[in-house]
Amino acid sequence: MTPRLPRAIDQGLASCHVCGKVTPVNRGRCPRCGESLHLRKPLSVQRTVALLLAALALYLPANMLPVMTISELGDVMASTILEGMVEFWHREAYPIAIVIFVASIMIPIVKIVALVWLCAAATGKVHPSPRVLGRIYWFTELLGRWSMVDIFVVSILVALVQFGAYMTVTPGPGALAFAGVVVLTMFAAMSFDPRLLWDRLEILNASETLQPTPNRE
Binding site for another protein (CB under 8 A): 5-9, 11, 13, 15, 17-22, 32-35, 84, 88, 93, 96, 99-100, 103, 130-131, 134, 145-146, 148-164, 166-167, 170-171, 175-176, 179, 183, 186, 190, 194-195, 198-199
Which of residues 5 and 214 has its CB atom nearest to another protein in the complex? 5
Q: Give the bridge partners for 171, in sequence order.
A: 68
Cβ nearer to another protein, comparing 48 with 214:
48
C-alpha span between 140 and 134 (Å, rounded): 10
In the complex, the smallest distance separating the C-beta of residue 194 from another protein, rounded to whole angstroms, is 5
Judged by beta carbon, residue 8 or residue 110, the one nearer another protein is 8
- Give the shortest CB-193-to-another protein separation in angstroms: 9
* Cβ closest to another protein, residue 76 vs residue 211: 76
Distance of CA 56 to the CA centre of its chain: 12
Could you tell me the smallest distance in angstroms from the CB atom of residue 164 to another protein? Answer: 7
Residue type present at position 196: L
Other beta carbons less than 10 A from residue 175's beta carbon: 21
Q: d(Cα 120, Cα 155) in Å, to the nearest integer?
A: 37
Whose Cβ is closer to another protein: residue 49's or residue 197's? 197
Q: Are 41 and 190 in contact (CB under 8 A)?
A: no
Q: Give CB contacts under 8 A, 24+ apart, made by 60-66.
A: 61/173, 61/174, 61/177, 62/108, 62/174, 62/177, 62/178, 62/180, 62/181, 63/105, 63/174, 63/178, 64/174, 65/172, 65/173, 65/174, 65/177, 66/172, 66/173, 66/174
Q: How far is the CB of 109 from another protein (least distance, A)?
A: 18
CB of 217 to another protein, least distance (A): 19
